[in-house]
Amino acid sequence: MKKYISLLSLFVIVVLSVACNKDDDHEEALRSTVYQLEATEGFNVTGTVTFTEGDDGTTNVLVKLVDSNTDEHPAYIRYSSGDEKDNIAITLKKCTCSVGETVVSKLDNGEPIDYDGLLQLDAYVSIHQSLEDMETIVSTVKIGTGH
């Protein structure tokens, strides 16, 4: 009986170790693009905006700020042309404690957009001073075709 349990245990271990060893060589690497945020006049807030392609057609937009305060900083992807008040393409999650992360699959108007679409968008990312001071942009970077 002890021999039977030992053989069964060995079999379970072998099956589990084979099942856990996926061959990841065949998986396609996800694409990623990094943009460097530049401080606007009078501010020192810099950082990066990283677009990472999701395997489900979405794009992860990660904003990391450097030299910002701990306020929540609203962030947007804005069209480079058009009326400044109505040029928001995508509302991003606010940067809290210098980081904001948003999964994007569509524009604010509901139109679908994927990683390649974002890279072709004539736009820029704007980081605002705070929820109370939306008029002040502390950092920005051109993306897509405007880059």
The Cα 141–Cα 38 span in angstroms is 6
The Cα 88–Cα 76 span in angstroms is 7
pLDDT of residue 63: 97
pLDDT of residue 8: 47
pLDDT of residue 18: 46
The Cα 98–Cα 47 span in angstroms is 9
The Cα 77–Cα 128 span in angstroms is 12
pLDDT of residue 10: 47
Contact call for residues 52 and 41 (beta carbons, < 8 A): no
pLDDT of residue 145: 76
Buried b (16+ CB within 10 A) or exposed e, 14-49: eeeeeeeeeeeeeeeeeeebebebebbeebebbbeb
User: Mind listing the domains of the chain with CATH numbers?
Assistant: 32-143 (2.60.40.200)
The Cα 14–Cα 75 span in angstroms is 50
Q: pLDDT 10s per residue in the chain (147 long)?
A: 555 455 445 454 544 444 444 444 445 668 999 999 999 999 999 999 999 999 999 999 999 999 988 789 999 999 987 566 679 999 999 999 899 999 999 999 999 999 999 999 999 999 999 999 999 999 999 998 766
pLDDT of residue 146: 65
Tokens of 52: 């990472």
Tokens of 121: 């968008």
pLDDT of residue 13: 52
